């Protein structure tokens, strides 16, 4: 008597039925060709008109939308002002004067030693860390959202484990829409062998919150209770930037 062949999992069965239905409707080769064409073309979808602004106006919109989502924002003139801005925020919020920051070369360049009372350690987040500091890939003006990518020098744990999260964002990293953010990511992640997708891309809008329990808003349910953004510098002037210029599909 031979052993019966193992039954396929429920997941495999469901996916198999979906695939068979798709195969019956359309030619698989044509579908694959269509998918490859879409990935190569990367056509933008509908882009909200409110994100199609001059660079300086995009930064102002980002700040306004981030604050509406309960984040706090500080604007500083130069990168050398970042450590002092971190210290000021910690004091104003009665937080311990120690932070865990990403071992990111961008953050390495800041003069942390100038803040004598601030203790800064680089590395992935630990359970005892109360405040983290990371750099952002970009900020999306239309919703006040931060786009953060993971790498060896940008541990994702820093985005979610500590109770307070401080993000440093240069003004020239603010883009109008999510589509612009993905375009920027493709440009910066391209190497000789092609485009490399980060292991994780996080979109963060305001502090963590949930209303799943009895429809009562709870902050810090899945991440930091406090999100503070330090915007560095000013956006570059763009005399040619006009509303509606960045997309053929304004909403």
For range 19-32, the mean pLDDT: 74
The verdict on domain 49-232 having CATH code 3.40.50.10420 is yes
For range 215-232, the mean pLDDT: 76
pLDDT of the residue at 14: 87
Question: Are the C-beta atoms of 231 and 73 separated by less than 8 Å?
Answer: yes
154-184 pLDDT, tens digit per residue, is 999 999 999 999 999 999 999 999 999 998 9
Q: Which of the residue ranges 95-104, 130-139, 202-211 would you say has the lowest mean pLDDT?
A: 202-211
pLDDT of the residue at 171: 97
Measured CA to CA, the distance from residue 169 to residue 146 in angstroms comes to 9
The burial class, CB within 10 Å (0-12 / 13-18 / 19+), for 228 is: buried
pLDDT of the residue at 200: 92
Burial code (b: 16+ CB inside 10 Å, e: under 16) for 136-170 equals bbbbbbbbbbbbbbbeeebbbbbbebbbbbbbbbb
Beta strands across the sheet bearing 138-140:
174-175, 138-140, 145-149, 201-204
pLDDT of the residue at 111: 96
76-122 pLDDT, tens digit per residue, is 999 999 999 999 999 999 999 999 999 999 999 999 999 999 999 99
Beta strands across the sheet bearing 98-101:
72-76, 226-232, 164-170, 131-135, 98-101, 119-122
DSSP letter (8 states) at residue 232: E
Would the pLDDT of 241 be above 50? no
Q: What is the pTM of this model?
A: 0.77
For range 184-190, the mean pLDDT: 80
For range 8-35, the mean pLDDT: 78
Q: Percent of the chain having pLDDT more than 70?
A: 80
- Kindly give, in sequence order, each residue whose CB lies less than 8 Å from that of residue 220, ignoring residues fewer than 6 positions away: 163, 207, 208, 209
Domain ranges of the chain: 49-232
């Amino acid at each position: 008597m031979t052993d019966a062949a193992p039954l396929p999992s429920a997941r495999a069965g469901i996916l198999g039925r979906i695939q068979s239905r798709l195969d019956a409707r359309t030619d698989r080769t044509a579908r694959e060709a269509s998918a490859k064409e879409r990935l190569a073309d990367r056509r933008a979808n509908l882009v909200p008109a409110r994100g199609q602004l001059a660079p300086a106006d995009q930064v102002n919109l980002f700040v306004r939308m981030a604050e509406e989502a309960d984040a706090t924002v500080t604007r500083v003139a130069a990168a050398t002002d970042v450590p002092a801005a971190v210290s000021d925020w910690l004091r104003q919020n009665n937080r311990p004067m120690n932070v865990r920051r990403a071992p990111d070369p961008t953050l390495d360049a800041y003069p942390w030693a100038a803040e004598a009372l601030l203790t800064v350690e680089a590395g992935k987040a630990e359970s005892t860390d109360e405040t983290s500091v990371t750099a952002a890939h970009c900020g999306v003006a239309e919703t006040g959202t931060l786009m953060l990518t993971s790498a060896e020098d940008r541990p994702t744990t820093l985005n979610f484990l500590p109770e307070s999260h401080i993000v440093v964002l240069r003004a020239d990293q603010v883009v109008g829409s999510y589509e612009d953010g993905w375009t920027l990511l493709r440009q910066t992640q391209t190497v000789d062998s092609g485009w490399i997708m980060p292991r994780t891309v996080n979109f963060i809008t305001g502090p963590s919150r949930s209303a799943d329990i009895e429809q009562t808003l709870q902050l810090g349910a899945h991440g930091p209770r406090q999100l503070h953004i330090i915007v560095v510098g000013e956006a570059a002037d763009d005399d040619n930037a006009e509303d509606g210029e960045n997309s053929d599909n304004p909403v």
